[in-house]
Chain A
Amino acid sequence: MATAAVDQADQRQSPLSDAVVVRFAGDSGDGMQLTGGQFTLSSALAGNDFATFPDFPAEIRAPQGTLFGVSAFQINFGSSAIDTAGDAPDVLVAMNPAALKTNVPSLKQGGLIIADEGEFNDRNLAKAKYEANPLEDGSLAKWQLLKLNISQLTMDAVKPFGLGNKEALRCKNMWTLGLSLWMFDRDRQPLIDWLNAKFAKDPNLAAANVAALNAGHAYGETAELAGPLKQHHVDPAPVAPGLYRTLTGAEGIALGLVAGAQLAKLPMFFGGYPITPASAILHHLSRLKEYDVTTFQAEDEIAAICSAIGASYAGSLGVTSSSGPGIALKGEAMGLAIMTELPLVIVNSQRGGPSTGLPTKTEQSDLYQAVYGRNGDAPMPVIAARSPGDAFECAIEAVRIAVQYMTPVMLLTDGYIANAAEPWAVPDLTTYDAFPVEFLTAVPEGGFKPYGRDENLKRPWVKPGTPGLLHRIGGIEKELDTGHINYAPDNHQAMTDIRKDKIDGIKVPDQVVELGAEGGKLAVVGWGSTFGPIHQAVRRKRAEGADVSHVHIRHIWPMPANLGELLKSYDKVIVPEMNTGQLKTVLRDQYLVDAKPVNKVSGQPFTIAEIEAAIEGALA
């Protein structure tokens, strides 16, 4: 169990091990995401493996000091492989009472709280609904508490620069970052360089921020002897040699789509509409004009997908992206892309639902929507990314299937993957096989059939503008081969069968076992962003001798040909999902396996401990 270690008597001396979880929590305006992001970079430069979890409110500028305005950033870094952002933090930096209140329950017993006591005034305590000051009343006794007046210390540090009160206090996050850098024995210089570059237009402000950073760092050095603060060095993780960078899921998808379009030798057209947490993909792509990418911010979600289909019809790779509510709006157009058999990639960055739900929180509850959510018999391939780096690979795979089978493809990611960052070994693009598209440009032998098919049941792709191949397409049922309107019973049966057979026949790689063996007592079957906690939990349980394996499905639809046999080779199958059991239902339906659900829909990722408990329960 992850919590076992803290029960040991000596944990107060050194709660930290070779992997450390730190959570920065503060007001929306305190710059916690920035602090977390820069700390992440410093972890990367220190050679640690890491995973992050930004957790922020849906409100852009929530009222100051409120519980719902708390923004947090968690990072797990270590000297061995890191799969998740960590269960319980070892260190919590709380910039105000609300941040403490909302985050302290998850802090590891014996963990360290660093609180800015300057913010624990009556007003802020009342806003956080504290009746007494928790820093004073002993209610935090099971943790180590370090009270610092970070506000005052920051003000003192930046005094020489003559900033206004408000501006001076905005340097608090750099003071905190400075202290954190000291705690984990990190080099300050890259951060100083970054600050100087960021505030290049205002050297005084840059100097003030650097001073705050240095002051925080110096504070650590001088305070070490007295309080609970200890410096802790985390060795670099043993990772494969090569060039690395940090990558978020949104970056992974954007870059993967560009790579996919290049491998297909197609220009890309991206139609999008602003929605959290999918907008970042539109933002990334809109800066990549030199890669033959056209981005279009449409008037709504429907226009976004329709414009992408229009571009595919013209011979570009049409791509659209959204989150659950927007995907719902796109449903009818997906049906048209299926009917007209045009390539299209639809990215769904899933978030908590239904309806508006939890816009900034993560969930995996759109699997039914992806696989089944259209009118009529409307089969469509579905792929799910497990991590930011995997999102790059999945985006390429989605493009490949879309153009090789002339079909829309749904690529599932989620809010967690979209925002989280991980170290990514930069791939060598020359190792990827190209799949250049061949348009039909002249009447083939035997005549032109707009709905004629190749061995993959793919129909030809003809660009408007091509002489001799004029034809009409649309959403009304097509006649076999000719594509003319046809309502005949036999024809509809035949066309429905073809559309199904085409998707069923898509060649996807066989399912591998991520960890463990084929066959055995228990398989933990996951998909998407639950990869990290499942992988770590299975690893730990196997280390304890348990017979458990991890199977992680990328191809949700159609599923790998060997998956049914593989699942049947285990006595038991459990399926952890951040929904009420959607993949579980599909597995049961497809293979008649007694897959048991393990569900969590709190808007937060699974913890490793939760998966471990589920494994124990299944093996008991």
Chain B
Amino acid sequence: MNEMTTIARTTTLKDWETDQEVRWCPGCGDYAILKAVQRTMPEIGTAPENTVFISGIGCSSRFPYYMETYGFHTIHGRAPAFATGLKLANPNLDVWIVTGDGDGLSIGGNHTMHLIRRNLDCQIMLFNNEIYGLTKGQYSPTSRVGTTSPSTPYGSVDRPAQPAAFALGAGARFVARGFDVSKELPNVLKAAHAHKGAAFIEIFQNCIVYNKDVFEDFAAPKGAEDRQLWLKQGEPMLYAKGTKGIALDVDALNLKTVDVVDGDWQAAGVIVHDVTNRSVAHMLVEMRFGEFPMALGVLYDDPRPTFEADVVRQNKAAAEGKKADLQGLLKKGQTWTVAEGGPEL
């Protein structure tokens, strides 16, 4: 987000919908994410004409066609690079990158890493469905070991990338998680938008055709409270209706789950979530689901100066006091004049 684009502007969900027919498979998790974004935009109060959605290639990357904003559906994996040029050329635009696990972590992993480390001010929504949907179901860099797919008929053998850990490792100053049908998703998006800098959001997304219900173990409504840890700034890391919490295992220098008796989370040593604590963030993104609940919400949020602001500042400083006299520049350096009848110094 930035100052220019947060000028209050009243819009409704309808203002953010295009007239284009949405072409995802019926039941695809992308529909829910699209609605969540369209619902969030009016609450953010930004103007559609100052908003640009940029995507790569994949199911998720069709997203810009459905947003009544400026939109650029680019090439596979490269959306971060287009966004960088766009934002450097016009820092006032509100830039959203839409990518997937294959687009953003496989073919475009390099760009994702550099976008994050540079800290370009934008929102990166990585739709993680652990599969290549648009190319009909091959395993992806986030697929779990043993995933059978057309290209891995005997199961995948390589270990998956962890998007949130990747982002934090690349130097991210904002890391969040949500999932497609979660009611909390708009709040996560709003927090991402409020963060000045590269805001990385991993959104678990259900590919109902090629990887159906792969996140049901934590995303299913039934028993969700036991399997989801929604992180809130300044609040203790509690789940299972407050009967369990996350505490620090000092000996192992790691996190552990603890039982909370009679609501006395302090006695159980449950940690209070501080979004600016980078050490804890590293533990949260590495927290294995199963042994632990799935950490969701804003895991880390600690802004620092953005790339485009620093570039603009340096360009200004370098140009300070200099005149853009191109004719003068052409004459710069070692020159000599040839007069009628011969050269002279």
| A231-275 at interface with B (beta carbon < 8 Å) | 236, 239-246, 255, 258-259, 262, 267, 269, 271
Q: How far is the CB of B341 from chain A (nearest CB, A)?
A: 8
Q: CA of A485 to CA of B330 in the docked complex: distance in angstroms?
A: 46
Complex interface residues of chain B between 291 and 338 (CB less than 8 A to chain A): 311, 314-316, 318-319, 322-324, 326-327, 329-338
Interface residue from A307, A310, A335, A470 paired with B48 (Cβ < 8 Å): A470
With A241-B339, A332-B75 already in contact, the answer to whether A429 and B324 are too (CB < 8 A) is no
* Nearest Cβ on chain B to A399's Cβ, whole angstroms: 13
Contacts A310-B81, A333-B75; A485 near B334 (Cβ below 8 A): no
> For the complex, is A308 an interface residue (Cβ under 8 Å from B)?
yes
A427 at the interface (CB under 8 A from B): yes
A264, chain B: closest CB distance, angstroms = 13
Q: Decide if B74 touches A475 in the complex (CB within 8 Å).
A: yes
Q: Is the CB of A244 within 8 A of B85?
A: no
Q: Bound complex: CA of A269 vs CA of B312, how far in Å?
A: 12
The answer to whether A309 and B85 touch across the interface, beta carbons within 8 angstroms, is: yes
Give chain A residues whose Cβ lies under 8 Å from the Cβ of B86. Answer: 310-311, 313-314, 464
Closest to A258 in B: B326
Instruction: Report whether B322 and A244 are in contact in the complex, using a CB–CB cutoff of 8 Å.
Output: no
Q: How far is the CB of B162 from chain A (nearest CB, A)?
A: 21
Q: Are A470 and B84 in contact (CB under 8 A)?
A: no
Check: B110 CB closer than 8 A to any chain A CB. yes
Does B256 sit within 8 A of A, measured CB to CB?
A: no
Q: Is A476 an interface residue (CB 8 A)?
A: yes
Pick the residue among A47, A241, A314 that contacts B85 (CB under 8 A): A314
Contact between chains at A309 and B82 (CB < 8 Å): yes
> Who on chain A is nearest to B70 by CB?
A464
State which residues 26-58 of B face A: CB under 8 Å.
Answer: 47-50, 52, 54, 57
Residues 459-496 of chain A, each 1 if its beta carbon lies under 8 Å from chain B, else 0: 00001111111111111100000001100000000000
Whether a CB of chain B sits under 8 angstroms from the CB of A303 is yes
Q: How many residues does chain B have at the interface if contact means C-beta atoms less than 8 Å apart?
A: 65
Assuming the contacts A44-B334, A303-B111, asked whether A466 and B49 have C-beta atoms less than 8 A apart, the reply is yes
Is there contact, CB below 8 Å, between A306 and B81? yes
- Residue ID in chain B nearest A428 by CB atoms: B327
Q: Could you mark each residue 106-133 of chain B with 1 if its beta carbon is under 8 Å from any beta carbon of chain A, else 0?
A: 0000110110000000000000000000
| A161 contacts partner chain B, Cβ-Cβ < 8 Å | no
Give the chain B neighbours of A307 by CB distance below 8 A. Answer: 81-82, 84-85, 88
Establish whether residues A47 and B343, one from each chain, have CB atoms under 8 Å apart when the complex forms: yes
A302 to B73, CA, bound (A): 16
In the bound complex, residues from chain A placing their C-beta under 8 Å from that of B311 are 294, 296
A294-B315, A303-B84 given; A47·B342 CB < 8 A: yes
Contact flags A419-443 to B (C-beta < 8 A → 1, else 0):
0000000111100000000000000
Are B49 and A299 within 8 A (Cβ)? no
B20 at the interface (CB under 8 A from A): yes
B343, chain A: closest CB distance, angstroms: 3
A440 to chain B, nearest CB (A): 13
Nearest CB in chain A to that of B68: its residue: A470
Residues 307-322 of A at the B interface (beta carbon under 8 Å):
307-316, 318
B64 touches A246 (CB 8 A): no
* A468:B49 contact, CB within 8 angstroms: yes
- Specify which chain B residues have a CB less than 8 angstroms from the CB of A16 in the assembled complex: none
A41 to B345, CA, bound (A): 12
- Tell which of B49, B73, B84 touches A464, judged by Cβ atoms closer than 8 Å: B49
Bound CA span A457–B78, Å: 28
Q: Is A289 an interface residue (CB 8 A)?
A: yes
Return the chain A residue nearest B65 by Cβ.
Answer: A472
Nearest CB of B to A306, in Å: 3
Question: Do A472 and B71 touch across chains, with their CB atoms under 8 A apart?
Answer: yes
**Known contacts A470-B69, A471-B70, A472-B64; A429 and B85 CB within 8 A of each other:** no
13 examples of A-B residue contacts, CB within 8 angstroms? A41-B334, A45-B336, A239-B343, A244-B335, A289-B315, A303-B114, A306-B111, A314-B86, A314-B89, A429-B330, A470-B68, A474-B64, A475-B75
**B-binding residues in A (CB < 8 A):** 41, 44-47, 190, 236, 239-246, 255, 258-259, 262, 267, 269, 271, 288-292, 294, 296, 298-300, 302-304, 306-316, 318, 332-333, 335-336, 340, 426-429, 463-476, 484-485
